[in-house]
Amino acid sequence: MADIIQLLPDHVANQIAAGEVVQRPASVVKELLENAIDAGATTIKLIIKDAGKTLIQVIDDGKGMSVTDARLCFERHATSKIKSADDLFQLNTKGFRGEALASIAAIAHIELKTKQAGDDVGTAIVIEGGSVTSQEVVVTPQGTSVSVKNLFFNIPARRNFLKSNAVELRHIIDEFHRVALVHSDINFVLYNNGSETFNLPVSNYRQRIVNIFGTKTNEKLVPVDEDTEVLKISGFVGKPEFAKKTRGEQYFFVNNRFIKSAYLNHAIASAFDGLLKSGTHASYFLYLTVDPQTIDINIHPTKTEIKFDDEHTLYALLRSAVKHSLGQFNIAPVLDFER
Ligand code: ADP
Ligand code: MG
């Protein structure tokens, strides 16, 4: 009997992993922005051409990488963020899987420039099809710039299934908002096809929301603040007249991470019970802080879903916090003329 099992070569394994991590240009944007935040950047620039199909570049002024790390960061499971499985439950970084750069490198062309504080020169590396094609010593500012070009160049099926530029750009901007809303202490700039679309100054949550969604938003925000032993909630819900037909402006952050949760969304909807016109959805920007020991964020490669130890308590606390705020601010029901 012949043996038939073999280990896949790295570039094949990376390309398979990339299928999960990188669904579209916006996924690359998310990963690069998160790396810049983890690097302690105070200013992060995102440069997009043709909805990311031609170029996605993120420039940060964070801590940069050494020459060795600049090469190592493209290896699968190469990370500076955790050392053991236990660290998964005390995470204070966005990343921990060490898969993003390896995945992106497997399906796109990458140019990396990076320099650490105190070094005179930095490193520039070009990667094509998963392997390094050039490495040079360069003069570059402190921090890191990653340019991603020709996304899915070697996966025509994926490339062909990308949506129109308008749709892909929408996804990118959504991702940009999700990251910028929770990191109001970082200056974010977005250039789309050469023009500056956003320049968000360092501020606070409220100001950041207003800078993104417009000055009119300010008067529509009802603050939510609740500090319990299990959970700290801060942020805002939109007044009922701010409710939307679409589920657009609904943002949950858990320990600084944007999270999707139909269950917790329901908690908020139920706090708004009787206050909304039928067919509309409450807007909210809620920032939850929980003990990292009580959540598991390693259940999905893109980390937008998490598992809570005690989801029911969270539901109840959230619902009562929102109800309390709405009551305190004397929010009356919107008359429903459509019924
Ligand atoms: P992860 O973020 O899960 O660790 P990545 O593949 O995204 O995995 O990045 C691998 C490593 O490369 C990171 O752990 C970090 O040490 C380094 N790195 C990536 N991007 C940057 C950056 N913008 N600035 C400094 N270091 C970075
Ligand atoms: Mg990362």
CATH of the domain at 257: 3.30.230.10
Which pLDDT tens digit goes with each residue over 43-62? 999 999 999 999 999 999 99
Ligand 2 centre to CA of 204 (Å) is 25
Residue 94's domain comprises: 10-200
Ligand 1 binding pocket (C-beta < 6 A) is 31, 35-36, 39, 60, 62-65, 73, 78-81, 95-102, 144
Please, are residues 323 and 271 in contact by the beta-carbon 8 Å criterion? yes
> What CATH code is carried by the domain that includes residue 40?
3.30.565.10
Ligand nearest 99 Cα, by number? 1
Q: For position 129, what pLDDT does the model report?
A: 80
In a domain, 32, yes or no: yes
Ligand nearest 80 Cα, by number? 1
Question: Given pLDDT bands bounded at 50, 70 and 90, which one contains residue 121?
Answer: very high
Is pLDDT above 60 for 335?
Answer: no
Q: How far apart are CA 193 and CA 145, in angstroms?
A: 18
Residue from 101, 112, 123, 147 to probe ligand 1 pocket by mutation (most atoms less than 8 Å from CB): 101
Ligand 1 centre to CA of 104 (Å) is 12
| CA dihedral over 154, 127, 146, 35, signed as positive or negative | positive
In a domain, 1, yes or no: no
Count: domains in the chain: 2
Top pLDDT among 285 and 278 is at: 285
Question: Given pLDDT bands bounded at 50, 70 and 90, which one contains residue 1?
Answer: confident
Which pLDDT tens digit goes with each residue over 208-221? 999 999 999 999 99
Ligand 1 centre to CA of 291 (Å) is 24
Same domain, 153 and 233: no
In a domain, 14, yes or no: yes
**Ligand 1 atom closest to 104 (CA):** 6
In a domain, 337, yes or no: no
Ligand 1 centre to CA of 228 (Å) is 34
Please, are residues 88 and 144 in contact by the beta-carbon 8 Å criterion? no
In a domain, 211, yes or no: no
Same domain, 173 and 222: no
Is pLDDT above 90 for 330?
Answer: no
Same domain, 49 and 173: yes
Share of the chain above pLDDT 70, in %: 97
**Ligand 1 atom closest to 94 (CA):** 2
Contacts of 337 (CB under 8 A, 6+ apart): none
Q: How far apart are CA 152 and CA 34, in angstroms?
A: 21
Is pLDDT above 90 for 65?
Answer: yes
Ligand nearest 62 Cα, by number? 1
Ligand 1 centre to CA of 35 (Å) is 5
Which pLDDT tens digit goes with each residue over 91-115? 888 888 889 999 999 999 999 999 9
Q: How many CB atoms lie within 10 A of CB 113?
A: 22
User: In this structure, which residue's CA is closest to atom 23 in ligand 1?
Assistant: 36
Q: For position 233, what pLDDT does the model report?
A: 96
Helix axes 25-38, 100-107, angle to 10 degrees: 140
Chain position carrying tokens 């308590």: 313
Same domain, 196 and 226: no
Same domain, 239 and 302: yes
Residue from 38, 72, 107 to probe ligand 1 pocket by mutation (most atoms less than 8 Å from CB): 38
Last residue of a domain, one of 170, 200, 230: 200
Q: Residue type for 131, please?
A: S
Last residue of a domain, one of 200, 230, 252: 200
Q: How far apart are CA 28 and CA 53, in angstroms?
A: 11
Distant-in-sequence contacts of 329-333, Cβ < 8 A, 24+ apart: 329/222, 331/222, 331/239, 331/240, 331/275, 332/275, 333/240, 333/274, 333/275
Q: For position 91, what pLDDT does the model report?
A: 82
**Which of 113, 183, 122 shows the shortest CA–CA distance to 148?**
113
Question: Given pLDDT bands bounded at 50, 70 and 90, which one contains residue 338?
Answer: very low
Phi, psi of 52 (to 5 degrees): 90, -5
Q: For position 51, what pLDDT does the model report?
A: 98
What is the overall mean pLDDT for the chain? Answer: 92
Same domain, 177 and 266: no
Which pLDDT tens digit goes with each residue over 136-149? 999 999 999 999 99
Q: For position 97, what pLDDT does the model report?
A: 87
Last residue of a domain, one of 200, 224, 254: 200
Same domain, 34 and 136: yes
Which pLDDT tens digit goes with each residue over 2-12? 999 999 988 88
In a domain, 335, yes or no: no
Is pLDDT above 50 for 206?
Answer: yes
User: In this structure, which residue's CA is closest to atom 12 in ligand 1?
Assistant: 73
Same domain, 160 and 271: no
In a domain, 283, yes or no: yes
Ligand 2 centre to CA of 28 (Å) is 10
Ligand nearest 39 Cα, by number? 1
Q: For position 336, what pLDDT does the model report?
A: 52
Same domain, 269 and 182: no
Share of the chain above pLDDT 90, in %: 71
Contacts of 255 (CB under 8 A, 6+ apart): 91, 92, 288, 289, 290, 292, 295
In a domain, 4, yes or no: no
Q: Complex ipTM, two decimals?
A: 0.99
Q: How far apart are CA 245 and CA 236, in angstroms?
A: 19
Same domain, 193 and 232: no
Is pLDDT above 90 for 179?
Answer: yes
Q: For position 339, what pLDDT does the model report?
A: 40
Q: For position 96, what pLDDT does the model report?
A: 86
Is pLDDT above 60 for 263?
Answer: yes
Same domain, 258 and 157: no
User: In this structure, which residue's CA is closest to atom 14 in ligand 1?
Assistant: 79
Same domain, 23 and 76: yes
